[in-house]
Amino acid sequence: MSARFAIKNSIRSKLIASFIFVVILTGAFSTVVGIMIINDTVVGQAYDSVQSNLSTAQFIYDERINVIRIAVEHAASLPDIKNFLLKKNMIGLTARLQNFRRDAGIDIMNITDPAGKIMIRSRNPVQSGDTAKDDLFVNYVIEQKKAVFGSDVMSRTALLREGDDLADQAFIKRIPTPHAQQRDATHDDRALVLKAAYPVMDTGRLIGVLYGAVLINKNYEIVDRIKRLVFKDETYDGYDYGTATIFLDDMRIATNVKSREGARAIGTCVSEEVYTKVVKQGKIWLDKAFVVNNWYISSYKPIYNIANEIIGILYVGILKTKFDSIKQKTILYFLAVIGVTLVIAIVIAVLLIQSIFKPVRKLVDASGEIAQGNYHKRISVDSGDELGYLCDTFNKMVDGIVERDEKLKEQTQKQTQQAEKLASLGRLASGIAHEINNPLTGILAFSSELRDDFKDSEYKEDLDLIVEETLRCRKIVKEVLDFARETALEKQHANINEVIVSTLAILEHHVAFHNTEIEQQLAGDIPEVYIDVNQIKSVINNLAVNAVDAMPAGGKIIISTRFDTVKGDVVIQFIDTGEGIPPEHLEKIFDPFFTTKETGKGTGLGLSVTYGIVQRHSGTITVESRQGTGTTFTITLPAR
């Protein structure tokens, strides 16, 4: 009795442990997937938001340039400006430009003659007569007779001609900044300006060039407007949630990013990593970046002058810590839900198993009584489910045994006959057990035979489906076993060209390759490689079949080999002219069970097995593809 209870308790423990393991495994997998989804969603929204914010900031920046353009265009079209020029009335022209500059809120408004000589410098009238021919904007208008507007850089010399106050406004000390590139310069006295220049014409003749500019250095109009419109002046943990900055080269000249002391971080510099990508390479940065004293999810965009030279950077960013906090809270809530669910699932599993083993225990006890000859033992039926039915059947079985035992005692002859029946039942049970030992093989064998017998009957399609699905099940089981099992490599020295030729010799006769041209470009100076020939043949076979599947209407496969003398590797390439692989699938094609084929056409294990085989040979496999032009798989195997 104790031995039976030990067995029973062992089975119960195993079942409980199995249920708990499955529940915990499912919970762990759900947690990992959930965290990945949360991370992608939260961070993805942050990057989308910053990218949209940068577009808005660029619009505000361009709008300010457009306001200057409209003002200068309007001034250039005024009749009195033209009349003053034609009559050489410098006093009237000076007064008119000074009034217009103040009304328009423009820092600089000057006019030159057709040769680029300064006629009037409205901010500093005593400075005139010098040339502005080297000014990009003035020179453009003189040469093209067209208006031009955009961003520009003014030197200190040019600023001093406009006035000491503008030169002082432009002067900014360079402040050492973490992660920024190191430079010997202690300051920058240049100015980034928004500028517009227009031709003043008289009957098709250029009589002057009018230009106006606004300094951005220490001018916070644009960056603060971006902050108000885009980020609503929101703060988080004592910091501005969103910030904007305009850089001259790598230095902040207008910003609402704060230093640790709470002042605007004028003079601090962009990180070297961002500077390299944005200024040196001319690309947009969309990633996290260290900004003065904090990490921001940031976007940086080059600012160009009219000569298409990068002269500065436009930046917007949002605090990374806020999104980290949102992500952490979301993950904690998710983990709490998963944890509660796991506990409930485990409790339910334990209770369920206990409810199953309660009637089982009764069956074990009753079986022990019957084994000792007590045929009057009965089991109470407490439920109407399968276990209740089992208990009821057990009671009926006992009644049958009692009835049969009484009859056996009365009739010796019937006793012998009954024993023979029981022996026959035993043999039948043994035969059934033998037949179901390999169910898939049995199903396949009999269904194939039935299909042949009924090939002209109405059941043929049903039998074909049985055979097809059985073969598919067996193929799936085999592929899963191949993927999970790591058999020992049986390596030998072999010539990879010979392995490829022998493998293709078999494939070329396959019906799937009839519409496919296979071109072999095998180099003759290939050294031997130390490989498991059968497994490498499997790799070649799999890549060739995949290439054919990618060319349903036919095409061409180029298989080439070469020896990389620098790395000492043998390189094998499979190039097809198929449909190509979508970019979003390229990073997933080696993942287990990932497939783009129709349901039933593949398990998604072929390339995973291929990848594993190449890795176990200390090699590499990569893929390049463009939709509509084909795919190239490249395998490298060490020759040494």
Rounded-to-integer distance, Cα 199 and Cα 77, Å: 9
Instruction: Give percent above pLDDT 90 in the chain.
Output: 36
Q: With H, G, I as helix, E, B as strand and everything else as coil, classify residue 243.
A: strand
Rounded-to-integer distance, Cα 266 and Cα 258, Å: 9
pLDDT, tens only, 64-85: 999 999 999 999 988 888 899 8
Helix (H), strand (E), coil (C) string for 325-381: HHHHHHHHHHHHHHHHHHHHHHHHHHHHHHHHHHHHHHHHHHHHHHHCCCCCCCCCC
Instruction: Give percent above pLDDT 70 in the chain.
Output: 80
Give the burial string for 201-221 (b: 16+ CB within 10 Å, else e): eeeeeebbbbbbbbbbbbbbe
pLDDT, tens only, 323-334: 677 677 777 777
Q: Under a CB-based contact definition with an 8 Å cutoff, are residues 483 and 608 in contact?
A: yes
Q: Under a CB-based contact definition with an 8 Å cutoff, are residues 311 and 158 in contact?
A: no
* Residue 304 φ then ψ, to 5°: -105, 150
Of 199, 187, 167, 159, residue with least CA distance to 73: 199
Mean pLDDT of 601-611: 71
Q: Under a CB-based contact definition with an 8 Å cutoff, are residues 266 and 251 in contact?
A: no
> In this predicted structure, what is the pLDDT of residue 38?
66
pLDDT, tens only, 1-37: 444 444 445 666 777 777 777 777 777 777 777 677 7
Between 206-210, 306-310, 389-393, 555-559, the lowest mean confidence (pLDDT) is in: 389-393
What is the pLDDT confidence band of residue 320, given thresholds at 50, 70 and 90?
confident
Q: Is the pTM of this model over 0.75?
A: no
Listed in sequence order, the residues at least 6 apart from 363 whose beta carbon sits closer than 8 Å to its beta carbon are 379, 390, 391, 394
pLDDT, tens only, 535-594: 898 898 888 888 888 888 788 899 999 999 888 899 999 999 888 888 888 877 777 666
Whether residue 415 has pLDDT greater than 60: no
Between 144-153, 303-312, 543-552, the lowest mean confidence (pLDDT) is in: 543-552
Residue 177, judged by CB atoms within 10 A of its CB (0-12, 13-18, 19+), counts as buried
Find how far residue 33's CA is from the centre of its chain: 14
Rounded-to-integer distance, Cα 231 and Cα 220, Å: 16
Mean pLDDT of 89-93: 90
- Please tell me the CATH code under which domain 49-323 is placed: 3.30.450.220
Between 108-112, 155-159, 551-555, 586-590, the lowest mean confidence (pLDDT) is in: 586-590
> In this predicted structure, what is the pLDDT of residue 636?
94
Handedness of CA 580, 581, 586, 591 (dihedral sign): negative
Rounded-to-integer distance, Cα 481 and Cα 71, Å: 77
Handedness of CA 608, 609, 612, 618 (dihedral sign): negative
Listed in sequence order, the residues at least 6 apart from 153 whose beta carbon sits closer than 8 Å to its beta carbon are 190, 191, 192, 193, 248, 305, 311
The second-level CATH assignment, the architecture, of 492-638 is: 2-Layer Sandwich (3.30)
Q: With H, G, I as helix, E, B as strand and everything else as coil, classify residue 247.
A: strand
Q: How far apart are the first and last CA of the chain?
A: 66
Whether residue 63 has pLDDT greater than 60: yes
The token pair at 33 is: 């997937």
Q: Under a CB-based contact definition with an 8 Å cutoff, are residues 187 and 172 in contact?
A: yes
Between 198-212, 332-346, 619-633, the lowest mean confidence (pLDDT) is in: 332-346
Q: Under a CB-based contact definition with an 8 Å cutoff, are residues 616 and 551 in contact?
A: no
> In this predicted structure, what is the pLDDT of residue 600?
53
What is the pLDDT confidence band of residue 524, given thresholds at 50, 70 and 90?
confident
> In this predicted structure, what is the pLDDT of residue 42?
64
Q: Where are the domains of the chain?
A: 49-323, 439-484, 492-638
Mean pLDDT of the chain: 81
Mean pLDDT of 245-255: 95
Mean pLDDT of 91-104: 91
Of 127, 135, 188, residue with least CA distance to 162: 127
What is the pLDDT confidence band of residue 385, given thresholds at 50, 70 and 90?
low
Find how far residue 593's CA is from the centre of its chain: 18
What is the pLDDT confidence band of residue 108, given thresholds at 50, 70 and 90?
very high
Distances (CA, A) of 16 to 103, 255, 343, 356: 84, 63, 13, 11
Mean pLDDT of 598-604: 58
CA atoms within 13 A of residue 81's CA, in its CB half-sphere = 30
> In this predicted structure, what is the pLDDT of residue 212?
96
For 461: left if phi > 0, alpha if psi spans -120 to 50, otherwise beta; the answer is alpha
Between 259-268, 432-441, 615-624, the lowest mean confidence (pLDDT) is in: 432-441
pLDDT, tens only, 185-199: 899 999 999 999 999
> In this predicted structure, what is the pLDDT of residue 571?
95
> In this predicted structure, what is the pLDDT of residue 431?
39
> In this predicted structure, what is the pLDDT of residue 416?
45
Whether residue 357 has pLDDT greater than 60: yes
Task: Name 310's bridge partners.
Answer: 304
The token pair at 60 is: 């505000």
E strand or H helix that includes residue 108: strand 108-112
